[in-house]
């Protein structure tokens, strides 16, 4: 079977990750439709992509004309207009299985039969998501890492029904958009989040047992050059609701060795979700 070529793509979900993913795709020369139910979110996602190119222009890395050419490859919509022409869709909606299943069921109806349907989920089952469609063989995980505009790694997650051709095409596309793919099977947390959460959970446990301030532990981690960003600051950047969901999911799957931070749970209940709500473990401007 000849390798599939993606002439046009779409991203569903115009939040922080959706805007960044659209930026990455357009930056590789792929026309992309950015879709969300809220027109304001769509505009914000496109503005996010434009701001990243403007930063590159300001740094002298990209010519203004080239930045404008790339930005013009992104179009926005609040419907599925144009989805009949895409070869690949990347879903980037919130981490709730019922929402993702609903989106994939809709995508199954509005996209061509050859199109690959990919999820940016960080932990949920690709196999289960694929069962919401009539083409589970063409459903795959394409898990980008935040910020997608910078991070080179991407997980290509193969569900139980994902065909070898789909996995190979997704890996080839990841390389085309200048990412480094790692292929993995459909297991809770995949590779990166299973390792990362296992390590970070011990810091969460230590913080609650000792009462040390999150800011102090972040300082120790960064000064020791263990990581460029401390675990509490990273959680704020990713969104505490998303991080909490992943932590709870892994705890449910693997047991209490995956600790869930109770302080984080309280912050989420209060609507303090990190940078996106201007407050979490830290205050954000």
Question: Which residues make Cβ contacts (< 8 Å) with residue 8, sequence separation at least 6?
Answer: 30, 31, 32, 33, 85, 86, 87
**Alpha helices (runs of H) in 131-184, residue ranges in sequence order:** 164-176
From the list 62, 38, 36, 35, the residue with the least C-alpha distance to 51 is 62
Q: What is the mean pLDDT of residues 160-189?
A: 96
Contact in structure between 189 and 250 (CB atoms under 8 Å): yes
Distances (CA, A) of 130 to 8, 108, 175, 276: 21, 10, 23, 29
Domains (range + CATH), the chain: 9-185 (3.40.50.720), 192-276 (1.10.1040.50)
User: So what's the pLDDT on residue 173?
Assistant: 97
Instruction: Quick: pLDDT tens for 232-259.
Output: 999 999 899 989 989 999 999 999 989 9
Termini Cα distance of the chain: 51
Which one from 23, 114, 143, 245 is the annotated catalytic residue? 143
Instruction: Quick: pLDDT tens for 79-92.
Output: 999 999 999 999 99
Name the strand (E) or helix (H) holding 195.
helix 192-210
* CA–CA separation, 186 and 216 (whole Å): 36
Q: Answer whether residue 158 shows pLDDT above 70.
A: yes
Q: Answer whether residue 273 shows pLDDT above 90.
A: yes
User: So what's the pLDDT on residue 171?
Assistant: 96
The torsion angle over the Cα atoms of residues 184, 88, 160 and 18, rounded to 10 degrees, is 60
In the residue annotation, 143 being an active-site residue is answered as yes
* pTM, two decimal places: 0.90
Q: What phi-psi label fits residue 183: left (phi over 0), alpha (psi between -120 and 50 degrees) or beta?
A: beta
Q: Answer whether residue 13 shows pLDDT above 70.
A: yes
What is the pLDDT confidence band of residue 3, given thresholds at 50, 70 and 90?
low
Quick one: DSSP state of residue 62? S
Q: Answer whether residue 2 shows pLDDT above 90.
A: no
Q: Answer whether residue 166 shows pLDDT above 50.
A: yes
């Amino acid at each position: 079977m000849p390798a599939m070529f993606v002439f046009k793509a779409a991203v569903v979900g115009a939040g922080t990750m959706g805007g960044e993913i659209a930026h990455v795709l357009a930056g590789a020369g792929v026309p992309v439709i950015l879709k969300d139910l809220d027109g304001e979110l769509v505009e914000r996602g496109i503005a996010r992509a434009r701001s990243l190119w403007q930063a590159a222009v300001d740094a002298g890395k990209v010519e203004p004309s080239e930045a404008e050419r790339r930005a013009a490859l992104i179009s926005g919509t609040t419907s599925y207009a144009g989805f009949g022409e895409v070869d690949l869709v990347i879903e980037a909606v919130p981490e709730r299985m019922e929402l993702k299943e609903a989106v994939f069921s809709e995508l199954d109806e509005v996209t061509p039969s050859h199109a690959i349907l990919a999820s940016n989920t960080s932990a949920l089952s690709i196999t289960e998501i694929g069962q919401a469609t009539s083409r589970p063989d063409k459903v795959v995980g394409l898990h980008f890492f935040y910020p997608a505009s910078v991070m080179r790694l991407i997980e290509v997650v193969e569900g139980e029904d994902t065909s070898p051709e789909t996995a190979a095409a997704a890996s080839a596309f990841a390389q085309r958009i200048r990412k480094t793919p790692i292929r993995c099977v459909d297991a809770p947390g995949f590779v990166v989040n299973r390792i990362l959460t296992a390590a970070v959970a011990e810091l969460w446990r230590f913080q609650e047992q000792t009462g040390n301030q999150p800011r102090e532990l972040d300082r120790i981690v960064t000064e020791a050059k263990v990581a460029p960003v401390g675990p509490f600051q990273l959680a704020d950047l990713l969104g505490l609701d998303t991080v909490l969901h992943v932590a709870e999911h892994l705890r449910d799957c693997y047991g209490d060795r995956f600790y869930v931070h109770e302080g984080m749970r309280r912050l989420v209940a209060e609507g303090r979700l990190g940078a996106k709500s201007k407050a979490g473990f830290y205050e954000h401007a």
